[in-house]
Amino acid sequence: MKKQIIIAFLIALVTGTGSAQFGIGASGGLIYPGFAKSDNFGSQFGVGAGFDIFMRHRLISISDSAQIVARYSYRNYFSDINLPNVQTTRFKFTYLSLGATIVLYRFDFLQVYGGGGLSLVTGNIDKDEINETISTLLPEIIVGVELPLSHNYNLFSEVDFQFGTLLLETRNYTLPVHGFRLVIGGTMFLTE
């Protein structure tokens, strides 16, 4: 039910901004949700990989040079963790994310931006006797650089810092997913 509400909210926002700059894009990179170990057994996530597909548009123009940009993402990542009595286990993470960024500094050839967001994260584990799907909301902080190639295309690289925990109810394990995501991607703008 949460996913349907988020999708309806995204459609309403996107269709209500006909005059704003609108773009679609994709990115890929690494995820490392293992800044902290679990209290139970010291389990810690390792480095994983994945991809993002997103839509973005100008949400609010504060001035000619300052605009808040909204981004709606679907992300698919994986990361491995060692759990007691199971050994190496692959977690598959699916994110539905809402984020907002603003340009912090402009250079002649690129711009630095920052912002924040919130993700509905679904973690799936399927190994041996553990088959569980876990969902939680994770806040994130976004920092990145964007290189405009033309009015219609850009390249970017960004780091997202996420904070939160997942609870494996069948084992009563709390798994921290504090960490970061480093991606490189591009955007194609459909309107200006």
Q: Tell me the domain boundaries of the chain.
A: 35-157+166-173+184-189
pLDDT tens-digit profile of 86-105?
778 888 999 999 999 999 99
**What is the per-residue pLDDT across 159-171, written as a single tens digit (0 to 9) for each?**
999 999 888 776 6
* Cα-Cα-Cα-Cα dihedral sign, residues 1, 11, 143, 189: positive
* Mean pLDDT value of segment 118-126: 89
| Helix (H) / strand (E) containing 69 | strand 67-83
Q: Residue 79: pLDDT band by 50, 70, 90 thresholds?
A: very high
Asked if residue 13 has pLDDT above 60, the reply is: no
- On whether the CB atoms of residues 55 and 14 are closer than 8 A, the answer is yes
What is the DSSP track for 137-181? EEEEEEEEEEEE-SSSEEEEEEEEEE--EEEETTTTEEEE--EEE
What gap in Å lies between CA 148 and CA 5, rounded to an integer?
Answer: 33
Structure tokens at 29: 């990179």
Residue 52 confidence (pLDDT) above 80: yes
Which pLDDT value is given to residue 116? 96
Percentage of the residues of the chain whose pLDDT score is greater than 90: 49
Residues 6+ apart with CB under 8 A from 118: 97, 98, 99, 137, 138, 139, 140
- Pick 35-157+166-173+184-189's CATH classification: 3.30.2420, 2.60.40, 2.40.128, 2.40.160: 2.40.160
Identify which of 130, 32, 113 has the alpha carbon closest to the alpha carbon of residue 80. Answer: 32
Number of other CB atoms surrounding residue 15 within 10 Å: 8
The neighbour count for residue 23, using CB atoms within 10 Å, is: 21
